[in-house]
């Protein structure tokens, strides 16, 4: 079924071959569900039927028995258009470029003019064909000018795996834009779904493709799906068997949840309050993201509950403290604590440098290295209520700040890059890590830091365009 395409077949031949495949599957006990029939029938139409396919998949999706005569009528209408337009001078509709330079077009602007089909529609004289066309348009009123470009999506969503998110630290930008009630001002809150029956190896292949048909797969983050259509905007963030959904139209959001619930046993957890260890406290003016409970769990695992707090996560001469050559007796414990601290950084930029420092010794930690870790834990114990503040009303201007500590490592002489990026007044990503090569001057180290910041800005810009 997936290999069947219309190609040069007529519509009746294509439908006949499709029906034959469905009948053969039914004969061997593999009955194809009606909604899947609709999807795969539309999937094989290919180029030239994009508008019809998008129209048919607009909720409520018609049944297979209803869509076949509509497709036949659509094809008959197209043939009539071609016959009546034969010999007619071609007319082109264009939009004047006021800049006079074709190479400087604004690719973000949707052209309001198209030469595709406008004159042909005006030339229809066959009353039967026109009536059929009008009936379809009234029931499913979707046209070129009504749809955003992201609504016309290739039918390859089933090929993608639901991976883990690129970096939960950058979830702050999602929790800023996706969790900020909704993209519009009417305030539809984000919804959390959980599928308790889904294993960690769940893929998009397990989800019927028609559900994700109109959703654009983000090039910046494979776990983010967006849908912009005349019914509204829908954003879906997937993490294994957990989802965050939000949209500007409650009806559209409820329809998607219902369709997903028809295929899986899901649990609607309501508005977003807790997700993957990140607590979300919402108010009218801001969101506050923290990991207080998770931090307490780390202290419990390290047996440092009630430890004496300290005001800084790392002392100035930490390298001399970590110079002990006595190996730490339990490297696995050391690695476990460091891994937990790395996840805590997702709402704690103040831990980036110190955690990055102790991560460098995970292969062969010493007693001195664990002393540095214990100081970080003492700092965490005194700052359990620290987190990230995300303002609801903020500009969409991206800014990045970077710095470099030239030849900071006495062993490798590699520099350390520090960087943070802001969306308006909200810090959305940050990092502190060694550069991959040795810089021959402080200027070179600074340029490498700026290059890293520029790459992060490029990625965030791509993500924002998808949203």
Helix H or strand E encompassing 274:
strand 274-275
CA distances from 466 to 193, 210, 218 (A): 22, 20, 6
Question: Is a pLDDT exceeding 50 seen at residue 164?
Answer: no
Q: Cα 177 to chain center, whole Å?
A: 12
Question: Is a pLDDT exceeding 70 seen at residue 109?
Answer: no
Helix H or strand E encompassing 111:
none
Q: pLDDT value at position 447?
A: 92
What is the average pLDDT across 37-64? Answer: 80
Q: pLDDT value at position 19?
A: 86
Token pair, residue 138, equals 């009234």
Higher pLDDT, 334 or 75: 334
Helix H or strand E encompassing 67:
helix 64-84
Q: pLDDT value at position 108?
A: 45
Average of per-residue pLDDT values in the chain: 73
Q: Helix, strand or coil for residue 1?
A: coil
Q: pLDDT value at position 341?
A: 94
CB atoms within 10 A of CB 126: 15
Higher pLDDT, 74 or 147: 74
Token pair, residue 285, equals 């003016």
Q: pLDDT value at position 321?
A: 60
Residues of the chain with pLDDT > 90: what percent? 19
If DSSP states are collapsed to H, E and C, what string results for 381-438?
HHCCCCEEEEECCCCCCEEEEEEEECCCCCCCCCCEEEEEEEECCEEEEEEEEECCCC
Residues of the chain with pLDDT > 70: what percent? 69
Q: pLDDT value at position 412?
A: 84
Q: Minimum mean pLDDT among 37-41, 203-207, 304-308: which range?
A: 203-207
CA torsion angle 236 239 242 244 (round to 10): -30
Helix H or strand E encompassing 364:
none
Q: pLDDT value at position 439?
A: 92
Q: Are strands 426-434 and 191-194 parallel, antiparallel or unpaired?
A: unpaired
Interacting residues of 84 by C-beta distance below 8 A, sequence separation 6+: 120, 123, 124, 125, 126
What is the average pLDDT across 365-394? Answer: 90
CB 375 within 8 Å of CB 407: no
| pLDDT digit string, tens, across residues 208-250 | 544 555 667 778 888 888 887 777 788 888 888 888 888 888 8
What is the average pLDDT across 179-207? Answer: 46
User: Confidence band (pLDDT; 50, 70, 90) for 337?
Assistant: very high
Question: Is a pLDDT exceeding 50 seen at residue 177?
Answer: no
Q: pLDDT value at position 232?
A: 78
CA distance 395 to 167: 23
CA distance 289 to 291: 7
CA distances from 302 to 292, 318, 365 (A): 16, 20, 16
| Dihedral pair phi/psi, residue 265, rounded to 5° | -85, 100
Q: Helix, strand or coil for residue 358?
A: helix
Q: pLDDT value at position 194?
A: 58
| pLDDT digit string, tens, across residues 246-264 | 888 888 888 888 888 887 7
Q: pLDDT value at position 91?
A: 43
CB 213 within 8 Å of CB 40: no
């Amino acid at each position: 079924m997936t290999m069947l395409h219309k190609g040069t077949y007529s519509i009746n031949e294509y439908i006949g071959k499709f029906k034959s495949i469905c009948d053969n599957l039914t004969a061997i006990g593999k009955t194809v569900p009606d909604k899947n029939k609709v999807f795969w029938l539309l999937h094989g139409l290919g180029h030239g039927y994009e508008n019809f396919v998008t129209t048919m998949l607009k909720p409520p999706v018609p049944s297979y028995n209803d869509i076949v005569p509509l497709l036949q009528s659509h094809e008959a209408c197209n043939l009539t258009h071609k016959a009546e337009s034969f010999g007619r001078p071609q007319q082109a509709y264009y939009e004047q470029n006021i800049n006079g330079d074709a190479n400087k077009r604004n690719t973000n602007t949707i052209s309001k003019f198209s030469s595709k089909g406008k004159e042909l529609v005006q030339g229809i004289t066959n009353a039967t064909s026109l009536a059929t066309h009008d009936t379809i348009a009234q029931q499913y009123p979707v046209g070129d000018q009504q749809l955003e470009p992201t609504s016309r999506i290739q039918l390859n969503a089933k090929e993608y795996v639901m991976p883990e998110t690129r970096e939960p630290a950058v979830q702050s930008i999602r929790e800023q834009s996706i969790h900020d009630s909704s993209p519009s001002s009417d305030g539809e809150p984000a919804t959390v779904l959980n599928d308790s029956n889904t294993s960690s190896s769940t893929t998009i292949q397990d989800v019927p493709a028609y559900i994700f048909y109109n959703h654009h797969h983000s090039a910046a983050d494979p776990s983010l799906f967006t849908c912009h259509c005349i019914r509204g905007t829908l954003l879906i963030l997937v993490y294994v068997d957990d989802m965050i959904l939000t949209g500007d139209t409650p009806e559209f959001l409820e329809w998607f949840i219902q369709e997903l619930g028809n295929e899986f046993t899901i649990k609607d957890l309501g508005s977003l309050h807790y997700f993957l260890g990140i607590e979300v406290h919402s108010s009218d003016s801001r969101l506050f993201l923290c990991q207080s409970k998770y931090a307490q769990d780390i202290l419990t695992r390290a047996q440092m509950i009630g430890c004496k707090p300290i005001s800084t996560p790392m002392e100035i001469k930490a390298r001399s403290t970590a110079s002990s050559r006595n190996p730490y007796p339990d490297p696995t414990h050391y690695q476990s604590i460091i891994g937990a601290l790395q996840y805590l950084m997702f709402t704690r930029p103040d831990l980036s440098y110190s955690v990055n420092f102790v991560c460098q010794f995970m292969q062969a930690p010493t007693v001195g290295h664990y002393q540095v870790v214990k100081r970080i834990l003492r700092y965490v114990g005194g700052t359990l209520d620290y987190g990230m503040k995300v303002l609801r009303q903020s500009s969409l201007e991206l800014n990045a700040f970077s710095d470099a500590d030239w030849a900071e490592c006495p062993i490798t002489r590699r520099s350390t890059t520090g960087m943070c990026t802001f969306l308006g007044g909200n810090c959305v990503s940050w990092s502190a890590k060694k550069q991959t090569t040795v810089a021959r001057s402080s200027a070179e180290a600074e340029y490498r830091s700026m290059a890293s910041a520029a790459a992060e800005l490029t990625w965030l810009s791509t993500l924002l365009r998808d949203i």
